[in-house]
């Protein structure tokens, strides 16, 4: 092949005969036969199906998260389930409640939308509205029952133990027909922390004329201090052993910010959080969960990211953890 004429552009004349090559056997490889997926037989067990997945990317991160949760519970370390409202809206509450009842999830944390949908499902058996329709005529979020109940919980939570605890108690002691489907009732019954982290003005219940900003703020501040104590307990008992796990399901902004500050408080007060693992599950990869959950708070290799729909990924995670713990 003739050499191009680079005289006018003053580019260097390359001597292609000096290109250095090496054997393929000397090269490090990222893909090997042992990591390829397999085709499981029809009717196989879930464990066999999971084992058949390729050892790459999302499947590998899912397995690492399962391993971290299993190691945490066997070492009696906490597993915190942080979630956004869409976890409830995609029908996943019964799965999380089962994990609470089994003693696998040891604390809950959510943003302001989580308890709203949880409350409505417990009391009405239905939740969520078509925002694109109701925003046009000014009726979006304007339902008095939800606002009254959430604000009552905020007032109680400001006086006693925070918003999450107050909501769980309110629903557990009331006559809500579907309270067995409430995450906050499950947490109340299991006597585990359930915290709500509110950004004032982001939730429909803040539009109610009787919304009490002081109570909402005080109740949520109490929950922040609770979650700081929960995070401070996520470290391993002894260096080299398994630590706890923080799961972030579907909160793109609020919980990643709350978690980062809670980590700062914990370490400032002398809790190094050795061995802690984190995992972010969401439909898209977002900046704050990636930085504030998966990368910044943990040691390299201890943060995991799994992209997928909650209604698919949460059932897979639950089943994998249960079968691994029972193995």
- The CA distance from 75 to 241, in Å, is 8
- The CA distance from 307 to 57, in Å, is 10
Mean pLDDT, rounded, for 141-157: 89
Q: Which of 136-145, 197-206, 258-267 has the lowest mean pLDDT?
A: 136-145
Question: Which distant-in-sequence residues (6+ apart) come within 8 Å of 170 by Cβ?
Answer: 149, 152, 153, 156
Question: Which distant-in-sequence residues (6+ apart) come within 8 Å of 5 by Cβ?
Answer: none
Q: What is the pTM of this model?
A: 0.90
- The CA distance from 48 to 299, in Å, is 31
Answer whether residue 250 shows pLDDT above 60.
yes
Q: Are strands 194-197 and 79-83 parallel, antiparallel or unpaired?
A: unpaired
- The CA distance from 165 to 157, in Å, is 7
Mean pLDDT, rounded, for 102-117: 96
- The CA distance from 97 to 108, in Å, is 10
Q: Which residue in 305, 307, 253, 255 sits closest to 279, CA to CA?
A: 305
| Distinct helix (H) and strand (E) counts, the chain | 13, 6
CA 323 to chain centre: 21
**How confident is the prediction for the chain on average, in pLDDT?**
92
Let me know: does 284 contact 321? Beta carbons within 8 Å.
Answer: no
Q: How confident is the model at residue 255 (pLDDT cuts 50, 70, 90)?
A: very high
Residue 207's pLDDT is what? 83
Answer whether residue 164 shows pLDDT above 70.
yes
- The CA distance from 305 to 215, in Å, is 35
Sketch out the chain's domains with CATH numbers.
Answer: 55-326 (3.40.910.10)
Q: How confident is the model at residue 6 (pLDDT cuts 50, 70, 90)?
A: low
295 HSE (CA, 13 A, CB side)? 8
Burial of 103-122, coded b for 16+ CB within 10 Å and e otherwise, reads ebbbbbbbbbbbbbbbbbbb
- Detail the DSSP E strand segments found in 87-227: 107-111, 194-197
- Angle of the 93-101 helix axis to the 310-326 helix axis, nearest 10: 20
**What's the pLDDT tens digit per position in 210-231?**
889 999 999 999 999 999 999 9
- The CA distance from 56 to 90, in Å, is 27
DSSP-derived letter for residue 202 is S
């Amino acid at each position: 092949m003739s050499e191009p004429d680079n005289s006018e552009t003053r580019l260097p004349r390359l001597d292609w005969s000096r290109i250095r090559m090496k054997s393929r056997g000397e090269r490090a490889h990222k893909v090997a036969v042992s990591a390829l997926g397999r085709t499981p037989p029809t009717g196989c067990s879930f464990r066999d199906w999971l084992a058949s997945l390729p050892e790459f990317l999302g499947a590998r991160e899912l397995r690492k998260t399962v391993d971290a949760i299993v190691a945490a519970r066997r070492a009696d370390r906490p597993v915190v389930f942080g979630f956004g409202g869409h976890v409830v809206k995609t029908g996943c509450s019964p799965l999380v409640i089962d994990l609470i009842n089994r003693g696998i999830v040891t604390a809950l944390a959510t943003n302001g939308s989580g308890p709203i949908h949880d409350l409505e499902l417990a009391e009405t058996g239905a939740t969520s509205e078509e925002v694109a329709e109701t925003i046009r005529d000014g009726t979006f979020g304007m339902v008095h029952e939800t606002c009254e109940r959430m604000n009552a919980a905020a007032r109680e939570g400001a006086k006693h133990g925070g918003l999450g605890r107050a909501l769980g108690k309110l629903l557990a002691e009331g006559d809500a027909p579907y309270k067995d489907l409430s995450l906050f009732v499950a947490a109340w019954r299991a006597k585990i922390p359930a915290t709500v982290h509110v950004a004032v003005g982001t939730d429909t219940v803040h539009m109610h004329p009787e919304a009490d900003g002081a109570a909402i703020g005080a109740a949520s501040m109490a929950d922040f201090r609770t979650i700081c104590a929960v995070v401070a307990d996520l470290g391993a008992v002894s260096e080299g052993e398994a630590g706890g796990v923080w799961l972030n399901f579907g909160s793109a902004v609020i919980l990643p910010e709350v978690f980062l500050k809670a980590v700062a408080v914990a370490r400032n007060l002398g809790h190094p959080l050795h061995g802690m693992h984190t995992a972010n599950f969401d439909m898209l990869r977002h900046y704050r969960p990636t930085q504030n959950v998966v990368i910044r708070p943990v040691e390299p290799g201890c943060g995991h990211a799994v992209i997928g729909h909650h209604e698919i990924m949460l059932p897979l995670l639950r089943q994998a953890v249960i079968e691994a713990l029972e193995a």
